[in-house]
């Protein structure tokens, strides 16, 4: 075998070895990435956290979008998804309301009646958000969504019970300001008890599946307590 032929053969062997090594390295990295991704997915927190012990809310009084009283009795007899925000909110509020409209559709698709659930948007900006305006705002996302507000004192009475602080920031111009508020959704059961919290970002189908399980697990005990 000539020296030229041996050199060509050695070069081919080296190239083949390099390709095999690269393939093994890539497959190794892929396997590692897959295992890490699977592990991360397994440890991702559930969007809906249901409380093992529920606390009944204390009395509160707000005003709904039809200028009627919205109080503790308004939360009884159905599951309530409560979200605090304000109409001038540029991103979190409209995004969450849209997501909640999808959650509602998913829940109904799983066989739960619309009459057993309600979605309540509570404005923590009463200086600018008026009842009639809130009604038009929330119904853009779903005709059955409720809009509610109240005085700062009335709002604080409820937000403190749910752990949902809010604060109006300083004005940047006349009547122009942001309102810092919680981005979570608060779940109240048909007995008026604080039952759980939904933290963003969440997937509507996942929230609906978790709520459906919670709903069916708790339906019989709730009926017994009402009697």
pLDDT digits (tens, 9 = 90+) for 135-151: 999 999 999 999 999 99
Decide: 181 and 85 in contact? Cβ < 8 Å: yes
The pTM of the full predicted model, rounded to 2 decimals, is 0.78
Taking each helix axis as running N to C, give the angle between helix 92-109 and helix 204-226, from 0 to 180 degrees, rounded to the nearest 10: 60
pLDDT at 220: 52
Asked whether the predicted pLDDT for residue 4 surpasses 90, the reply is no
pLDDT at 132: 83
Asked whether the predicted pLDDT for residue 16 surpasses 80, the reply is no
Q: How far apart are CA 98 and CA 177, in angstroms?
A: 23
pLDDT band at 10 (very low <50, low <70, confident <90, very high): low
Rounded to the nearest integer, the mean pLDDT of the chain is 83
pLDDT at 131: 83
Mean pLDDT of 14-24: 43
Task: List beta partners, residue 13.
Answer: none
pLDDT at 65: 77
Nearest to 192 by CA among 162, 160, 147, 151: 162
pLDDT at 36: 45
């Amino acid at each position: 075998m000539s020296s030229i032929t041996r050199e060509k053969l050695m070069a081919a062997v080296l190239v083949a070895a390099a390709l095999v090594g690269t393939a093994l390295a890539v497959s190794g990295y892929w396997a590692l990435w897959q295992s890490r991704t699977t592990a991360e997915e397994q440890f991702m927190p559930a969007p809906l956290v249901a409380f093992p012990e529920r606390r009944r809310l204390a009395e509160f009084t707000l005003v709904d979008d039809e200028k009627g009283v919205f109080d503790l009795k308004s939360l009884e007899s159905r599951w309530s998804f409560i979200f605090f925000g304000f109409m001038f909110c540029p991103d979190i509020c409209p995004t969450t309301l849209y997501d909640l409209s999808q959650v509602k559709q998913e829940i109904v698709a799983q066989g739960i009646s619309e009459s057993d659930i309600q979605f309540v948007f509570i404005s923590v900006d009463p200086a600018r958000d008026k009842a009639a305006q809130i009604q038009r705002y929330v119904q853009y996302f779903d005709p059955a969504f409720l809009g509610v507000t109240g005085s700062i004192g009335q709002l604080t009475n409820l937000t403190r019970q749910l752990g949902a602080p809010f604060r109006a920031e300083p004005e940047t111009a006349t009547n122009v300001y942001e309102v810092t508020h919680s981005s979570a959704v608060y779940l109240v059961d048909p007995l008026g008890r604080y039952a759980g919290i939904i933290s963003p970002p969440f997937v509507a189908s996942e929230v609906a599946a978790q709520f459906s399980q919670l709903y069916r697990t708790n339906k019989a005990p709730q009926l017994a307590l009402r009697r």
